[in-house]
Structure 1
Amino acid sequence: MGKRRRVAERRRTGPAVVGGMIAVVVGGAGFSVYALYGGGAAADDRTATTSATAGHAKKTGPLSAAEVTSAAERFLTAWQQDRATAAAAATDAADTDDSAAAAALLAGYTKDARIKDVRLTAGARTGAEVPFSVKGTVSYKGTVKPLAYDSSLTVVRRASDGEPVVDWRPSVVHPDLKDGDRLVTGAAGTPPVKAYDRAGGELTTAKYPSLGPVLDGLREKYGKTAGGRAGVELRVVRGKASQKAKLSDKTLLELSKGTPGSVKTTLSPALQAAAERKVAARARASVVVLRPSTGEILAVANSSHGFNAAFQGSLAPGSTMKIITSSLLIEKGLASADKVHPCPKTVTYGGWKFHNDDDFSIKGGTFKASFARSCNTAFISQAKKLENDDLTKQAQQVFGLSMNNWAIGVPTFDGSVPVQSAAPMAASLIGQGGVRMNPLNMASVAATVKSGTFHQPYLVSPAVDHRRTATASRTLSASTLSQLRELMQYTAAYGTAAEAMAGLGPDYGAKTGSAEVDGQKKPNGWFTAYRGDLAAAGVVQAGGHGGDTAGPIVAALLKAGG
């Protein structure tokens, strides 16, 4: 309907006050947008200004309350009325060459996802952000089920003319959507699976909330071979970008049940439950526990449930990387556990000045002392004696990392140790620069030190599907391995890991880490350790020092499994 007609109908019907907010009903569409007009909208309007010549004025300045609510209303009204092109035009998609993709996703909401009777209800804005609820029905070949979820949008000024429009991103349509993803309702391409722990208990998100991405990955990998039959579902079908990021398709609503197949995992019910409890107490925490002698994954948990950062995260590992670097330096004769090793306050390399935490120094100390206290300069000082690809080769050949070939049963990021030069190469020695890891990778590093050999971690036994697992091309010498264990044991007993690891010795070892992140007040806190035939690693993003944040999580799980 035209703009004049909508305005006229608003005048005829008049606004209704609902819960202290104004409910504007667009005639015939059944659309209600609740806009909070308190808080000085008129005053806000005065902050908006225009530029350029008369007739071609470009609006600038902060958005007023009225501009935010009207822009949100235009978009939500067009979307609800299934006018995909108009809805896309009410966003800034054209400015980013995404208008066709936006229109296609919005059109597919009805055509492909088969969602009808849509009712979009906007809540009170917070600045330029407007939350809204979605209610509708999904219908497929006579089967109908209700759909309800919450989303939000943000209003911005369009670059071309300054008009207030919705900031386009697929997650506005549904929070689980990313660029290139689609919503589709139909016979599921992959049959469902029931996943079981090592003791035969069923794994569900009701029991283990953070396993959602893991269960999605198991279905994608084994659904067609586990003996199940597909049902009818509304699901997110991933596009190229999401597939590259190893994100699995996601079921949003099940219209008719399929017959699930079954997949047995290596997860320990006791350790998984403990891991869930421990990460739930910390924001942005992730942890993995595995068995060094075999590579079996015994627990994986994340306090944020939408993304499996424990398996797929890509974060600078900070000083936990010094385990790999130490093995390299010892092999090359550049360090020895009990020999004196330099640890000055600062070291300059490649034009960068590297510091220790609080600029401490150790005079006349051993390499073991530097490792235990996590002295950065003890490692940076050796950069000039290394080739640019030495650390990369060490990570690949000994620890099985950075080759993108792990096959654990679900998608993973297998670590990245790129070849670098000058200052970035030096930074990589202490887990900064371009090095990226996740708790699965770092648990595997600790496990390799404990067992003496890299065993690729796995969640589903390779015997189930006869898949080939990754291997390392060589092992450390007995002398190097012995010294590396000595470094980690000393750190667990007397170094930065001692408080967390108290009472868990003597067959143990650990390393802490703190990774600085641009724009983040506190570093990501890392901790990796082993005890007996268990190894674990955790990270608490923006949590602070690893010994204080991730350390207690890891230590508690090593104790629980011991």
Structure 2
Amino acid sequence: MRREVKYGLIGGSVALVAGVVGGFTLFGGSDESSPQEVRSADGAPGDSSPKVKTGPLTSAEVHTTTRAFLTAWQSGDASKAAALTDSPDTAKSALETFSKQAKFSKVTLTPGKATGGTVPYTVAARIDFKGATAPVSYRTSMDLERDTSTGKPRVAWKPAVLHPDLAKGDELRTGEAEAPPIKAVDRNGTELTPASHPALAGVLESLRDKYGDKTDGKPGVELFIHRAKAAKAAEQQPDKTLKVLSKGTPGTLKTTLDAGLQTAAENAVKGKKEASATAIKPSTGEILAIANSPAKGFSVATQGSLAPGSTMKIVTAAMLMDKGMTSPGKAHPCPKYVTVGGWKFQNLDKTEIPKGTFAQSFAASCNNAFISQAEKLSDDDLTKEARDVFGIGLNWQTGIPTFDGNVPVQSDAQMAASLIGQGGVRMNPLNVATLAATVRAGSFHQPYIVSPSLDNRTLAKAPRAMKPGTAAGLKSLMRLTATSGTAAEAMSGVGGDIGAKTGSAEVDGQKKPNAWFTAYRDDLAAAAVVPASGHGGSNAGPVVRAILTAG
């Protein structure tokens, strides 16, 4: 349950911030504001109650409150320090346990230059744990605000006052690590490290968290942030190592990743402000690559929850064919306008395909060819198809925290919008890659990154297989899209058994839609999203192409 190690080992060179040892550095200037005489409305002295002070804090107020808070905290007077915050009870409890859990002694707090009501400061201390000692130093900050009821300056309490990486419910601890370090290797035995693959930093932390104790490794002693348990498994963050006091022995953990494809995926999203991609093996569900830009932080590729746009038409097309409502060669016009539930839908640029086949409408990604079928469907038809055939929304056991997609039961206009991947439908690149992989394989294989045999977990199973006619029809639709439809430019020159689907998802308040693209080439499937970039084929398409051709 650790992230990147920020500080060196005992015996290494760990320099404290200059000026923090041996005392408490204070701001210069007056300690107190001058007392003010209370006068009545006519200016004469009076005994009327003073008005509550309002407006921004003065520099003197910031200085005085900062010094009082940090002095009380440094001296161990949690009650006095907490009384200067806007949440005295919460602050008192946190301050009382802070040094005990972190095993800190000789805490020194040094404020920096305030900017308005924000005051940065350095926390320097010595860690003492079972005979091992080590210095530690880090910077954080606090915000001071005026209490609206009393007018007095108060520290706006939040866990980051104690450490910048603390969130609600997190704890700073020193002790034996809860899991040994791991040496993660790819499917071919190549070691995977955060240095060689920055996009895997969070994945490797999660793998250590879950599987470190299932290797032959031995834990060391660390200062780390113990993360609070998230309400949803997909949102769980691994613990974060801040300092290693004694090294553990890494245990080797084999993953399904492919180092070459991982590099290709990372390079494909690099340089984009935001982009995410995944690659999986359709015949097995093995995850081959996970990439995000920026590389560090929340993994949109596996935990994101975004409208997938027209990539959802893979599921919708399967549903319509499963129900016998259409087939690739059947006449299936795409009208310019369709009204469902009182909402009028129009195609992009008001285009239409008045006499086309379903294959032509799919390859052109013409929205109203799908929306026009809404009133013939039950509210839960799309939900069932997504779950029972494509595995979306089942409880995936991938080996790392993932959001497994959601296609809620909706009605009227919202249900119609869901048919084209809008409405309440939510997915990420891992989910969308699985859609393409299911088409290529003919059945759903739950994605995973570590073999289920390691911990005897049960992979999710789709309740039913795709009908043979539907499977063949979908492959022909996706091949047509890849060769002469909206995905043709991105897939040009890509050989083998190929299929693709583009998507553009509208987002309120966003000038350009989120660009989506998913495709397969033989036994390799990939998907990517590039938010707020425009058309899927020209923006997310090149990312997927780079992954497919690297494989």
TM-score range, shorter chain: 0.7 to 0.9
Q: Is the 8 A contact 1:246 1:411 kept in 2?
A: yes
Q: Is the 8 A contact 1:26 1:32 kept in 2?
A: no
1:558 positional shift: 0.5
Q: Is the 8 A contact 1:34 1:121 kept in 2?
A: no
Q: How does 1:106-145 map to 2 (within 5 A)?
A: 106-118=95-107, 134-145=123-134
Instruction: Determine the C-alpha separation between the residues in 2 that align with 1:73 and 1:518.
Output: 45
SS at the partner of 1:330? Answer: helix
Q: Is the 8 A contact 1:342 1:378 kept in 2?
A: yes
1:260-304 per-position Cα deviation (integer Å, ceiling 9, x unaligned):
222101111111122222222212221111111111111112123
Partner amino acid, structure 2, of 1:210 = A
1:309 positional shift: 2.2
1:369 positional shift: 2.7
User: Which residue of structure 1 aligns with residue 7 of structure 2?
Assistant: none
User: Which residue of structure 1 aligns with residue 334 of structure 2?
Assistant: 343
SS at the partner of 1:518? Answer: coil
User: Which residue of structure 1 aligns with residue 297 of structure 2?
Assistant: 306
- Out of 24, 38, 48, the position equivalent to 1:30 is 24
SS at the partner of 1:503? Answer: coil
1:498 positional shift: 2.1
User: Which residue of structure 2 aligns with residue 178 of structure 1?
Assistant: 167
- Out of 50, 54, 73, the position equivalent to 1:55 is 50
> For the structure 1 residues 29 and 55, does the alpha-carbon distance in structure 2 shift closer, same or farther, using more than 3 Å as the test?
farther
Query: What TM-score does the superposition give when structure 2 sets the normalisation length?
Result: 0.84
1:184 positional shift: 1.1
> For the structure 1 residues 288 and 63, does the alpha-carbon distance in structure 2 shift closer, same or farther, using more than 3 Å as the test?
farther
Q: Is the 8 A contact 2:347 2:368 kept in 1?
A: yes
SS at the partner of 1:384? Answer: helix
User: Which residue of structure 2 aligns with residue 8 of structure 1?
Assistant: none
Instruction: Determine the C-alpha separation between the residues in 1 that align with 2:487 and 2:529.
Output: 14
1:435 aligns with 2:425: yes
Partner amino acid, structure 2, of 1:387 = S
Q: Is the 8 A contact 2:255 2:450 kept in 1?
A: yes
Partner amino acid, structure 2, of 1:179 = K
Instruction: Determine the C-alpha separation between the residues in 2 that align with 1:70 and 1:430.
Output: 59
1:76 positional shift: 5.5
Instruction: Determine the C-alpha separation between the residues in 2 that align with 1:164 and 1:521.
Output: 41
User: Which residue of structure 2 aligns with residue 50 of structure 1?
Assistant: none
- Out of 181, 194, 199, the position equivalent to 1:210 is 199
User: Which residue of structure 2 aligns with residue 228 of structure 1?
Assistant: 217
1:543 positional shift: 3.3
Instruction: Determine the C-alpha separation between the residues in 2 that align with 1:225 and 1:246.
Output: 20
Instruction: Determine the C-alpha separation between the residues in 1 that align with 2:20 and 2:450.
Output: 54
Instruction: Report the more deviating stretch, 498-507 or 117-126.
Output: 117-126
> For the structure 1 residues 339 and 302, does the alpha-carbon distance in structure 2 shift closer, same or farther, using more than 3 Å as the test?
same
> For the structure 1 residues 431 and 140, does the alpha-carbon distance in structure 2 shift closer, same or farther, using more than 3 Å as the test?
same
- Out of 286, 293, 311, the position equivalent to 1:320 is 311
> For the structure 1 residues 130 and 499, does the alpha-carbon distance in structure 2 shift closer, same or farther, using more than 3 Å as the test?
farther
> For the structure 1 residues 429 and 243, does the alpha-carbon distance in structure 2 shift closer, same or farther, using more than 3 Å as the test?
closer
1:107 positional shift: 3.4
SS at the partner of 1:468? Answer: coil
- Out of 263, 284, 293, the position equivalent to 2:283 is 293
Q: Is the 8 A contact 1:118 1:134 kept in 2?
A: yes
Instruction: Determine the C-alpha separation between the residues in 1 that align with 2:353 and 2:61.
Output: 60
> For the structure 1 residues 363 and 189, does the alpha-carbon distance in structure 2 shift closer, same or farther, using more than 3 Å as the test?
same
Instruction: Determine the C-alpha separation between the residues in 2 that align with 1:218 and 1:150.
Output: 29
Instruction: Determine the C-alpha separation between the residues in 2 that align with 1:102 and 1:34.
Output: 27
1:359 positional shift: 3.4
1:503 positional shift: 1.3
Note the aligned Cα RMSD (angstroms).
3.1
Instruction: Determine the C-alpha separation between the residues in 1 that align with 2:162 and 2:325.
Output: 56
Q: Is the 8 A contact 2:52 2:149 kept in 1?
A: no
1:56 positional shift: 4.1
Of structures 1 and 2, the one scoring higher in RCO (CA 8 A, sep 6+) is: 2
Partner amino acid, structure 1, of 2:241 = T
Instruction: Determine the C-alpha separation between the residues in 2 that align with 1:514 and 1:153.
Output: 41
1:219 positional shift: 1.6
1:190 aligns with 2:179: yes
1:118 positional shift: 4.6
User: Which residue of structure 2 aligns with residue 360 of structure 1?
Assistant: 351
SS at the partner of 1:241? Answer: coil
> For the structure 1 residues 78 and 435, does the alpha-carbon distance in structure 2 shift closer, same or farther, using more than 3 Å as the test?
farther
1:146 positional shift: 3.5
Query: What TM-score does the superposition give when structure 1 sets the normalisation length?
Result: 0.82
SS at the partner of 2:230? Answer: helix
Instruction: Determine the C-alpha separation between the residues in 1 that align with 2:490 and 2:116.
Output: 43
Instruction: Determine the C-alpha separation between the residues in 1 that align with 2:415 and 2:98.
Output: 48
1:491 aligns with 2:481: yes
Q: Is the 8 A contact 1:140 1:185 kept in 2?
A: yes
Task: State which structure, 1 or 2, has the greater radius of gyration over its C-alpha atoms.
Answer: 2
Instruction: Determine the C-alpha separation between the residues in 1 that align with 2:360 and 2:64.
Output: 64
Instruction: Determine the C-alpha separation between the residues in 2 that align with 1:197 and 1:207.
Output: 12
SS at the partner of 1:548? Answer: helix
Instruction: Determine the C-alpha separation between the residues in 1 that align with 2:413 and 2:313.
Output: 17
1:59 positional shift: 2.2
SS at the partner of 2:427? Answer: coil
- Out of 349, 357, 364, the position equivalent to 1:373 is 364
- Out of 244, 252, 261, the position equivalent to 1:254 is 244
Partner amino acid, structure 1, of 2:354 = K
Q: Is the 8 A contact 1:31 1:80 kept in 2?
A: no
Structure 1 unaligned spans of 5+: 1-24, 36-52
Partner amino acid, structure 2, of 1:541 = P
User: Which residue of structure 2 aligns with residue 390 of structure 1?
Assistant: 381
Q: How does 1:157-172 map to 2 (within 5 A)?
A: 158=147, 160=149, 165-172=154-161
Q: Is the 8 A contact 1:246 1:412 kept in 2?
A: no
Q: Is the 8 A contact 2:24 2:110 kept in 1?
A: no
SS at the partner of 2:382? Answer: helix
1:264 aligns with 2:281: no
Q: Is the 8 A contact 2:282 2:437 kept in 1?
A: yes
Instruction: Determine the C-alpha separation between the residues in 1 that align with 2:359 and 2:255.
Output: 39
SS at the partner of 1:338? Answer: coil
Q: How does 1:233-248 map to 2 (within 5 A)?
A: 233-241=222-230, 244=233, 245-248=235-238
Instruction: Determine the C-alpha separation between the residues in 2 that align with 1:333 and 1:351.
Output: 27
Instruction: Determine the C-alpha separation between the residues in 2 that align with 1:313 and 1:65.
Output: 43
Q: Is the 8 A contact 1:108 1:183 kept in 2?
A: no
Instruction: Determine the C-alpha separation between the residues in 1 that align with 2:131 and 2:256.
Output: 40
1:444 positional shift: 1.0
SS at the partner of 2:98? Answer: helix
> For the structure 1 residues 120 and 362, does the alpha-carbon distance in structure 2 shift closer, same or farther, using more than 3 Å as the test?
farther
> For the structure 1 residues 167 and 443, does the alpha-carbon distance in structure 2 shift closer, same or farther, using more than 3 Å as the test?
farther
Partner amino acid, structure 1, of 2:387 = Q
SS at the partner of 2:517? Answer: strand
> For the structure 1 residues 28 and 458, does the alpha-carbon distance in structure 2 shift closer, same or farther, using more than 3 Å as the test?
closer
Q: Is the 8 A contact 1:34 1:124 kept in 2?
A: no
> For the structure 1 residues 312 and 81, does the alpha-carbon distance in structure 2 shift closer, same or farther, using more than 3 Å as the test?
farther
> For the structure 1 residues 294 and 230, does the alpha-carbon distance in structure 2 shift closer, same or farther, using more than 3 Å as the test?
same
Structure 2 unaligned spans of 5+: 1-18, 30-47
SS at the partner of 1:236? Answer: strand
> For the structure 1 residues 90 and 374, does the alpha-carbon distance in structure 2 shift closer, same or farther, using more than 3 Å as the test?
farther
